[in-house]
Each structure stands twice: as C-alpha cells, then as structure tokens.
Amino acid sequence: MDLGRLVGNLVAIRRSLPAGVRVEPVVKADAYGHGLVPVARALEAAGADGLCVATFDEGAALRRAGLRLPLLILYPIPPALAPEAARLGLTVTAGDADLLERTLEAVGRSGRPGRERRGRRDGLPVVQPALAIQIEVETGLGRGGFAETGIAKAMEAIAATAGARLAGAWSHLTAPEDPARTSEQERRFHAVAALLGGGGVDLPRHLVASGGLLAGGVAHLEGVRPGLVLYGLVPEGLAMPPDLLAVAGELRPVLSLHARPVRVADLPEGSGVGYGPSFVTARPSRIATLPIGYGDGWARSLSNRAEAIVRGHRVPLVGTVAMDAVMADVTGVPGSPVGVDDEFTLLGSQGDETIAAEDLARSRTTISWEVVTAMARRLPRVYHSAAGPMGLRTLTVERYLWPASSSGTATSATSKSTPS
C-alpha cells in the first residue's frame, strides 16, 4: 500500500474542487481492501475533512483507534446501537421511517443530551451527547432514503427528540455516466434540500462520489465523498471533460499484490495442474505455486484466465484457483530458471508491464470495486511511502508509524501484538 499515492490522490481531488468544499473520503469495506485504520490515519494526517463508513462497527473501530475526524455511517444502524453511536460521536443515516422511529426511541430512553447519566467514568460524570443524524434522500437509486413526501415528518421527529439533532442531507447518483438521469436526481435532491433549509437551518449537503467527481456537471455542494478514485482507480464508462480527464490522469493506484512461490517444479508433458485438472501441460513445463487463492480474494473465476508478472515478463496463471494457491507457468521466462526467491506481481506494475484492477475485473466480468474489496483480512498489508516503511498489518501484528496530522494529533509507532 503506497500511502504517498493515497495522499497524492487526495491532493489531486481537493485541487479539482472549489475552495471550501469538504472532502470526506469513503473508507468502508476495510478501506476498499486497503486497510481501514492505517488508511484512515493517513487521510487524517493529510487533512481530510471527515470520513464515511458503511457500518456502526467500522465507525467504532476508527474511534477505538483514536480517529477524531467526523465520521458518517452511510447505512442505518440497528436502533439499539444509537446511544453508543452518540457517545462515540458517530453521525448516523436515516433512510427508513420505521427504523428512524425506533432509533429516536432508543435515544430518548438513554437520557437527555447534556444531562448526567447514572454512573461515572474515570471519576467524571457520564454525559450523553446528542445523536447527529443525516437524512438520506431517495432521488432515484431505489435502495434507500426518504422520498420527498416523507422528509417533513422525519425532520419533525428528529426535532422533537431531545437526544437527537439533524446534521445534514445526502443522496447517491445511480449512473454518473448518464447526464439525463443524473440531472433528474440532482433536481430531486435540490427540491428536498430546499425543504430541509426551510427552517433557516444551514445544513450540509452532499451528492457527489467518485463517478460524479470525474464525470462533472453536478454541483459539489458542501462536500464530496470520494471512494474508488481515492485509491487511484477510475470508474469505467465515464465520459470526462478535459479538465477532469487531467485529474484522472493524476490518480495512481495505491494497492499492488505480490507473492513469492512456495514451490517451483519441472513437470513432464501431460501433467495435470490443480483440481480437475483444468490445465494439462502440453510440453515439459516449469510451474510455480503461489500462496494465494480464493480464500485471499483471488477469485476462482480467474482460473486459466489471468496472468502474473515475474522478472518483467507476463506469465499465465494455469489450473483451477484453489483456496490457498494458484500456479504460474514460468517455462518461457528468459534467463536462469525461476525459483522461490523470485517476486511475482499479480496486481500492479513490474518493469514495463502492468496488471490493473480493471484488467482483472474484465476477466471476472465484474468491477474494480469488487476486485480490491475482496482482498481478505489474512493477506499481509505493507504500508510505505517515499519516506520509507510506514506500517505492517497481518493477522497477528499491527505496527504503524505516522507523521503528525494537520490537526496536530500526536502520532507514534503502535503495536497491537508482538511479532513472533
């Protein structure tokens, strides 16, 4: 994980926006497979205005890790968790009338904000803060949010609950590459946003995510939510104006995937490779076994359909992808025979060759989002920048070293466990 590229992408995105527009990156799904806590810490240090997650647990994990930035949960949470969300300073989303009613009831039962609750923590009174709620607006995506007819009632319910406050409104574009559909969504959102501001309250609004950022033509309002583009990946199918095409050209992929063989063997002609076997050698072949499989997020659908790069040369990955292994045919690699010390690149660049996330997505008939978010927790993540190593995350070790954040937050090397 190249944190220098991550920060560079954030800078490029911010430079493309009008002054004053908040940039609140999306770090859900383990920061799109890149690592929730280390990515969030790097973004906080780089001056992000806030972060967006999908679940309560993601927000709670960031608070436990010491993140102080505003955190918005993009999906409604279980109502019973509302008081804890308030205590942690998490902003939640309201998009369903029944769930909002139950959420407000849970907040009401927890006590009025600013009032001391029973018990003390660290010798101090326990004070229940108000729960910040943003309203999701249904503008055409069809999966969440209040339609215009339900907005007024939702606002009234929030205003009538002493332990809650209205904190903003947002929606999500369904097809940024479709100007007509996007224009209609924007029109609907502005109509509802006008209702929200009718009480003289100036509420933050946000509509634009990665696709809208690069397709252009949509108002940035008070904030944007870059997701895929933050990680240096450009959504396919967008027709970008020249200025935004230049921005896209500045973005660099943060993640690359590498492995060294756990076995390299010479097999005779007619040998089966992997389950099935779905591949049989047509000549004497040298086969390298790489310790990555569908248990790591390397999809089984890539069987006999993908490549790796070794010594700057593309080689085919052959046989059926197993849970923990995939095989590379390195017979034609020039020079001395490929061995267990050679590094293979499965995603990223080596020499003049590059395997991009969109290449793997096409092979799997999916999208780049799925390729990177599928990377399993057990894959070690190594974090670095131009300054050198920045951190390591494995199943047993988390060690990070961060620069000082723009907010002055003190940082240091941290470890959750001792390496073996």
**Two tokens, residue 86:** 């308030």
Please confirm, yes or no, whether 294 is among the known catalytic residues. no
Closest among 74, 79, 57 to 157, alpha carbons compared: 79
**Two tokens, residue 164:** 């809650």
Residue with tokens 């921005």: 247
Q: Are the beta carbons of 108 and 162 closer than 8 angstroms?
A: yes
| Residue of 28, 32, 231, 383 marked catalytic | 28
| Residue of 32, 153, 231, 275 marked catalytic | 275
Q: How many other CB atoms are found less than 10 A from the CB of residue 282? A: 9
Closest among 369, 356, 365, 392 to 253, alpha carbons compared: 356
Beta bridge partners of 135: 94, 169
H-run or E-run covering 69:
none
Q: How far apart are the first and last CA of the chain?
A: 23
Please confirm, yes or no, whether 153 is among the known catalytic residues. no
CA 222-223-225 angle, 5° bins: 165
**How is 103-134 classified by DSSP, letter by letter?**
HHHHHHHT--TTSEEEEEETTEEEE-PPEEEE
Helical spans, DSSP H, in 17-117: 28-32, 36-45, 56-64, 82-88, 97-109
Cite the active site residues: 28, 275
